[in-house]
């Protein structure tokens, strides 16, 4: 317990942790502020203004269409004749239905429609912070000699590394849970002030809570992978290098090569797709080079659905590989 307390204190005391967490919170505040100022409450006056704007646009475009029709009718025998059809009734005349008042409404924050994207943004940002904090927490200890010092005090390598990881994951869990709760509260307020909460049923709330739980799992998992990679390489830079390498390999290199090779569902090899599948419960990929004929819909593309269970499985394998390898190597490596 004393070791766990020491590691928790060490994590919280680290300046790097503080700077990254404060930076992350500042970005989240900026996102929330941006959403607050760019969204507006929609009431009868906004609806009336949007309707008036739609009408004004319809009338303007109708006038323009009438003018064009007159020019068309006057064009035969002139140099302008080539610009118009011979039958001027073919010119399109706008209808009122073409000008949906909805388009002229100000942006409004409808909680049920938009908060899911906000949870994804929160998860992505916090996962990035978790990776760097996790990598630095153990990487800096290895490279500064702090880990060696600690092992002189507690010559139980697995216990020391495991406790360190536990302290990190507990810290990330607490931070993510509190931040997600605050995030939900802030956006509920924004929706109340600059949008609507009206369609939120208990099922919708439950769905968002489950999405936040998946966000929390993602953050903790990415933190553990960063920790594992940095411990394997005994330096923070190793984890960061591996992350950059993975992005280059899976996001750019492999994607380009596989698309040149005309491999089906190239997106399935890209990391963000799996992240989206995890967060949104599923992602449906389509292959437009295939034709599945149906009498009602004609040619339909092949589809591949990546579910959150599949994404969770991949995440679990990555965690087991990174953390397992770190634990395995620390058991017997010479610490010099």
Which residues within the stretch 122-151 sit at the binding site for other proteins (CB under 8 A)? 140-141, 144-146, 148-151
Using the rule CB under 8 A, is 177 a contact of other proteins?
no
* Closest to 30 in 3D by CA, of 123, 125, 113: 125
Identified binder of other proteins from the candidate list 82, 262, 288, 334, rule CB under 8 A: 334
CA dihedral 255, 256, 259, 260 (to 10 degrees): -150
Binding mask 147-176 for other proteins (x = CB under 8 A): -xxxxxxxxx--------------------
Closer to other proteins by Cβ: residue 118 or 150: 150
* Nearest distance in Å: CB 194, other proteins: 41
Number of residues that bind other proteins (CB under 8 A): 29
CA angle 308, 312, 315 (to 5 degrees): 140
* Nearest distance in Å: CB 233, other proteins: 18
Binding mask 253-282 for other proteins (x = CB under 8 A): ------------------------------
Beta-bridge partners for 195: 109
Identified binder of other proteins from the candidate list 15, 43, 82, 86, rule CB under 8 A: 15
Token pair recorded at residue 325: 């390898």
Token pair recorded at residue 53: 């704007």
Closer to other proteins by Cβ: residue 167 or 277: 167
Binding site for other proteins (CB under 8 A): 2-3, 5-7, 9-10, 13-16, 140-141, 144-146, 148-156, 332, 334-336
């Amino acid at each position: 317990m004393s070791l766990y307390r020491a590691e928790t204190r060490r994590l919280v005391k680290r300046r790097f942790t503080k700077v990254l967490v404060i930076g992350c919170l500042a970005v989240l505040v900026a996102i929330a502020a941006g959403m607050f100022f760019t969204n507006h409450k929609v009431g009868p006056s906004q609806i009336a203004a949007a309707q008036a704007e739609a009408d004004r646009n319809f009338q303007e475009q109708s006038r323009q269409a009438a003018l064009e029709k007159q020019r068309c009718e006057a064009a035969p025998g002139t140099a302008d004749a080539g610009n118009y059809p011979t039958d001027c009734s073919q010119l399109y005349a706008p209808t009122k239905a073409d000008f949906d008042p909805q388009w002229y409404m100000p942006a409004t924050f409808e909680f049920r429609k938009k908060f899911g994207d906000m949870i994804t943004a929160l998860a992505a940002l916090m996962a990035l912070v978790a990776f760097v904090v996790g990598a630095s927490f153990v990487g800096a200890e290895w490279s500064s000699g702090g880990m060696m010092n600690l092992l002189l005090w507690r010559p139980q390598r697995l216990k020391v590394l495991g406790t360190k990881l536990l302290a990190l994951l507990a810290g990330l869990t607490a931070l993510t849970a509190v931040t997600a709760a605050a995030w939900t509260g802030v956006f509920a307020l924004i929706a109340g002030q600059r949008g609507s909460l009206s369609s939120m049923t208990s099922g919708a709330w439950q769905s968002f809570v489950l999405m936040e739980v998946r966000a929390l799992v993602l953050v903790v998992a990415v933190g553990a992978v960063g920790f594992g990679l940095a411990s394997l390489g005994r330096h923070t830079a190793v984890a960061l290098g591996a992350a950059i390498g993975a992005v280059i390999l899976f996001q750019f290199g492999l994607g380009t090569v596989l698309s040149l090779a005309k491999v089906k569902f190239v997106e399935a090899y890209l990391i963000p797709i799996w992240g989206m599948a995890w967060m949104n419960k599923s992602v449906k990929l389509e292959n437009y080079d295939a034709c599945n004929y149906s009498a009602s819909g004609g040619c339909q593309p092949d589809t591949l659905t990546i579910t959150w269970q599949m994404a969770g499985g991949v995440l679990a394998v990555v965690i087991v590989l990174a953390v397992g390898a770190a634990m395995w190597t620390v058991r017997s490596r010479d610490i010099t």
